[in-house]
């Protein structure tokens, strides 16, 4: 088994504020950009005791970008880093999304909230590999509909908000139901908060389709040794950091 | 012969740095990208029970900012039988110094598990987890000297492999339990397991962990561990002590050795840095060279020799 994984001190090259509390922090991390597979994540030092998991949002040359919303001490720390500041980055970690063998099978991205952060890289790589892509994005409000312009470069984007401040009012599962009624034969990639993941899996189960779902549970180590970040799948606890984060929807208990 | 070679009681170690149980997966496969297990003083396996255990539902950990973390894993493990068949051969192949950690709820549980490994020469020691705070009944053995004595004497009858008792800091006087353990035939004591703690989530207005309490580990517990090792070494200078508790750097490890531990285990530090143990080994090598030590064991317990030290 060969694992191309690094533990590096990476320098911040840019900290871009997207507005409304969302940031993209870019680090010079060739070890990550070279080896990242879409949907994988890294553990990053962020001024706290434990490192924090972040999915890779995009790569530009040797720079890896991480998109996040400032919600606590770790993300606040990252948002205040200055160019040239160094943090420890450990990765790439975990199992990412698997592109379908059949290149004619369209990829349907289903994102909830900050779960969108993993998809620009996924969509770009999928697009470079000639897959047809569509994104369904549910967020709390207009302000949380980030990255949509970027994702539109790779395919259609339909969004829905909890409060109706942009587009339809409702949940992303409504868009998914409509989409699956039209065409069940799509490779579905899902990422978002746990309650949204569970609702999406229920919809997939109703339609008899299997999705690839990126899970996030609170984790301490990110590489399998602490056994914290478990979810029940196939009747036992699997570690989302090494057995996932991307897992098949049909093995997960909802 | 390296100056890091050491012994803990009857157990010879390449160096005094081991991976602590519960912080290196089940059998340390996850460290392959970073170093060979044979470079370590040893690896202590995940606590293994007679039957597989599912463990507790997530969330299983919560960070205590600046101090460490609380865990409530609940001893998830594949069971001793599976381990012996599927994981022990891996550790043997990797030429690791193997310490098997065993846990149970009754003396019979422990005995059943020990019976699976009682005559395996490749195992350097068996560490009896007397003190996991995250399962019902788990703490009993390390909070009652009589129970600790009974358990360890029964295990001693089953095997010639050296036994280490991993003890809980959640007691009034650690030396009473240490004494009971050694009287029962324990060849060393592992000090300390996690400290019982609790965190509150202000937003949900509930405990952060589903079972409320968890085991506190990380930098904050280092002084607690040092104090317990100090008390133990002062009272029983000949009892081998395996030091555990918030060790992140070679400097931390040196403090444990000075206090009376003959080797140390690296636990939570592995979570924040997979190479922590190797960096500590390298730091100890430098320390020996700088201080012209023939053997790292020369400093074990030196902090108790106050007169010698102040005169040095």
| Interface predicted TM-score (ipTM) | 0.93
pLDDT at B139: 63
Helices (H) and strands (E) counted in chain A, each on its own, are 6, 16
Integer angstrom CA distances of residue A7 from A42, A77, A241, B189? 10, 20, 16, 34
Domain spans of chain B, in order of start: 6-55+74-196+218-310
Radius of gyration of chain B (CA): 18
Mutate to test the interface with B, among A4, A35, A46, A49 (most CBs of B within 10 A): A49
Residue B66: predicted pLDDT: 87
CA distance A8 to A44: 10
Rounded to the nearest 10 degrees, how much is the dihedral formed by the CA atoms of B199, B220, B257, B249?
110
Nearest CA in chain B to A241: B30
- Report cis status (omega within 30 of 0) of the bond before B192: yes
Q: What are phi and psi of B285, to 5 degrees?
A: -60, -50
CB count within 10 Å of CB A238 equals 18
Tell me which chain B residues have a C-beta less than 8 angstroms from the C-beta of A224: 25, 29-30
Chain-centroid distance of CA A84 in Å reads 26
Of A3, A90, A230, the CB nearest to B32: A3
The CA-CA-CA angle for residues B101, B175, B151, to 5°, reads: 40
pLDDT of residue A1: 39
Sign of CA dihedral B126, B127, B128, B133: negative
Under an 8 A CB cutoff, do B63 and A49 touch?
Answer: yes
Strands A133-139 and A155-161 turn out to be: parallel
Query: Per 3-state DSSP, what percentage of chain B is helix, strand, and coil (rounded to 5)?
Result: 35, 20, 45
The answer to whether A253 contacts chain B (CB < 8 Å) is no
CA distance, residue B140 to nearest chain A CA (Å): 24
- Give contacts of B 65-94 with A, CB under 8 A: 65-69, 71, 73, 76
Nearest CA in chain B to A226: B23
What are the residue ranges in chain B where pLDDT is below 70?
1, 132-139, 306-312
Query: What distance in Å separates residue B266's CA from the closest CA in chain A?
Result: 13
Alpha-carbon distance of B263 to B127, in angstroms, equals 14
In this structure, are residues B158 and B120 in contact, taking their beta carbons and an 8 Å threshold?
no
CA closest to B75 among chain A residues: A227
CA distance B306 to B291: 18
End-to-end CA gap in chain B: 27
Q: What is the pLDDT of residue B134?
A: 59
Can B24 be counted among the known catalytic residues? Answer: no
A7 to B67: CB separation less than 8 angstroms, yes or no: no
Task: For chain B, say whether A3 makes contact (Cβ under 8 Å).
Answer: yes
Contacts (Cβ under 8 Å, ≥6 apart) of B243: B191, B225, B229, B253, B256, B257, B259, B260, B261, B263, B264, B265
A50 touches chain B (CB under 8 A): yes
Task: Please give, rounded to a whole number of angstroms, the shortest distance from the CA of B127 to a CA of chain A.
Answer: 19
Domain B6-55+74-196+218-310 has CATH 3.40.50.2300: no
Please report how the helices B276-290 and B250-259 are oriented relative to each other, as an axis angle in degrees rounded to 10.
Answer: 60
Residue B101 at interface with chain A, using a CB cutoff of 8 Å: no
- Cα→Cα distances A191→A67, A136, A199, B162, Å: 14, 11, 12, 49
Q: Is the pTM of this model over 0.80?
A: yes
- Omega prior to B244 cis, within 30 of 0: no
Please identify every stretch of chain A with a pLDDT value under 50, giving residue numbers as ranges: 1-2
């Amino acid at each position: 088994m060969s694992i191309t994984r690094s533990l590096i001190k990476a320098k911040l090259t840019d900290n871009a504020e997207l507005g409304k509390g969302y940031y993209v922090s870019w680090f010079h991390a060739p070890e990550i950009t070279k080896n990242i597979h879409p949907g994988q994540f890294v553990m990053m030092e962020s001024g706290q005791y434990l490192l924090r998991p972040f999915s890779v949002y995009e790569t530009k040359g040797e720079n890896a970008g991480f998109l996040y919303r400032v919600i606590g001490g770790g993300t606040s720390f990252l948002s205040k880093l200055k160019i040239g500041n160094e943090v420890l980055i450990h990765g790439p970690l975990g199992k990412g999304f698997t592109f379908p063998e059949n290149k004619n099978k369209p990829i349907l991205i289903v994102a909830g909230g900050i779960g969108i952060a993993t998809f620009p890289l996924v969509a770009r790589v999928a697009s470079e590999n000639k897959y047809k892509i569509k994104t369904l994005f549910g967020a709390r409000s207009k302000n949380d509909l980030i990255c949509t312009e970027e994702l539109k470069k790779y395919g259609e984007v339909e969004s829905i908000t909890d409060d109706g401040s942009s587009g339809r009012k409702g949940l992303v599962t409504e868009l998914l139901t409509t989409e699956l009624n039209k065409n069940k034969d799509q490779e579905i990639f899902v990422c978002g908060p746990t309650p949204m993941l569970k609702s999406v899996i229920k919809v997939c189960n109703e339609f008899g389709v299997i999705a690839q779902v990126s899970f996030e549970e609170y984790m301490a180590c990110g590489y399998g040794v602490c056994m914290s970040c478990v979810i029940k799948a196939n009747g036992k606890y699997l570690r989302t950091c090494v057995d996932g984060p991307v897992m098949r929807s049909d093995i997960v208990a909802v | 012969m390296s100056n890091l070679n050491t012994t803990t009681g009857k157990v010879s170690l390449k160096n005094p740095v081991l991976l602590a149980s519960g912080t290196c997966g089940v059998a340390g496969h996850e460290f392959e990208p970073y170093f060979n297990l044979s470079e370590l003083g040893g690896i202590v396996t995940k606590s293994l029970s007679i039957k597989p255990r599912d463990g507790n539902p997530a969330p299983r950990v919560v960070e205590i900012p600046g101090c460490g973390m609380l865990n409530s894993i609940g001893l998830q493990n594949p069971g001793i039988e599976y381990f012996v068949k599927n994981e022990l051969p891996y550790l043997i192949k990797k030429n690791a110094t193997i310490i098997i950690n065993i846990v149970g709820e009754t003396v019979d549980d422990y005995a059943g598990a020990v019976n699976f490994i009682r005559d395996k020469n490749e195992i350097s020691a068996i560490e009896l987890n007397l003190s996991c705070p995250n399962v019902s009944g788990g703490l009993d053995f390390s909070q009652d000297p009589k129970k600790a004595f009974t358990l360890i004497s029964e295990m001693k009858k089953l095997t010639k492999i050296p036994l280490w008792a991993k003890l809980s800091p959640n007691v009034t006087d650690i030396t009473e339990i240490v004494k009971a353990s050694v009287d029962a035939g324990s060849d060393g004591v592992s000090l300390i397991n996690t400290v019982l703690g609790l965190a509150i989530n202000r937003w949900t207005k509930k405990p952060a962990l589903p079972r409320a309490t968890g085991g506190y580990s990380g930098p904050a517990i280092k002084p607690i561990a040092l104090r317990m090792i100090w008390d133990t070494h002062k009272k029983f200078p000949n009892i081998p002590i395996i030091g555990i508790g918030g060790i992140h750097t070679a400097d931390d490890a040196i403090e444990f050795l000075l206090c009376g531990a003959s080797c140390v285990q690296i636990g939570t530090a592995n979570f924040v840095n997979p190479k922590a143990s190797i960096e500590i080994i390298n730091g100890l090598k430098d320390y020996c060279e700088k201080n012209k030590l023939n053997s790292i064991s020369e400093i074990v317990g030196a902090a108790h020799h106050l007169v010698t030290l102040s005169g040095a």
